Structure 1
């Protein structure tokens, strides 16, 4: 049995999330957290972090897999879901809620990123439809910076 071991590099993430619902003020949140950035060696990058109480998703791991023109957002833990983003395309995803599973359509209007193993930026804009009715427009802007080990700052 062969396994390729990849170790994620520690990174600092600045995540800005916006949600726009009809007839309501936009809801936005910005947070900084630690995560890992892993290169699969096949040109794919995996960005992962633990959600917090601030996002309402405590106990959930969020992962962004960057695969060429697609980004796959997966959440596992207290919330389980997977959404596929591809600019100009619509993908149907399953979203788990405390009340059951829901099929949602994700229409990506913008997907830009400059992510490399050294960090970068991801800008994602999309709308979500349930039963062919748009329920909201959303945006993620994630800045990724390599985290420097405390040991590099010198010890006496």
Structure 2
């Protein structure tokens, strides 16, 4: 069930002091299309620091939802200009988190393969981190 795809995710975090972190993940995933949405499901790895977590991307025309279930649980909703508040749950505790999406571009073929998504957003995790992030997702 589902189509095998390759997912490449590049995340850049930059705090307001100018410190920058870059994380890249390349993994195999399953792609499904249901009710006008594209779903991409993959297992996190040790490299991402979330081994034991399953990630699910739900992609619509103007919104991306990233849900993580397992060792680390979270749900991030990216919709242009909207503020999203949630709890970021880790083995070390839960932290209030807020994101504001500044840019979202979803480029895809009709069959949902060869998709590229760019998201830029502000992130605040309850005094632990505040900065600007960007995510680039390529699905082939």
- Provide TM-score, normalisation by structure 2: 0.89
Shift in Å at residue 133 of structure 1?
Answer: 9.4
For 1:76, the equivalent position in structure 2 comes to 69
For 1:87, the equivalent position in structure 2 comes to 80
Provide the alpha-carbon RMSD of the alignment.
1.9
- Aligned pairs, number: 138
CA contact under 8 A between 1:84 and 1:93: conserved in structure 2? no
Three-state SS of the structure 1 residue aligned to 2:47 is: helix
CA distance in structure 2 between the aligned counterparts of 1:98 and 1:133, rounded to whole angstroms: 16
Structure 2 residue runs of 5 or longer lacking an equivalent are: none
Shift in Å at residue 140 of structure 1?
Answer: 0.9
Higher strand share: 2
CA contact under 8 A between 2:71 and 2:91: conserved in structure 1? no
For 1:67, the equivalent position in structure 2 comes to 60
Structure 1 residue runs of 5 or longer lacking an equivalent are: 1-6, 146-156
Shift in Å at residue 24 of structure 1?
Answer: 4.5
Higher helix share: 1
For 2:136, the equivalent position in structure 1 comes to 141
Distance 1:32 1:126, change over 3 A: same
For 2:19, the equivalent position in structure 1 comes to 25
For 1:35, the equivalent position in structure 2 comes to 29
CA contact under 8 A between 1:110 and 1:123: conserved in structure 2? yes
- Provide TM-score, normalisation by structure 1: 0.80
Shift in Å at residue 132 of structure 1?
Answer: 8.7
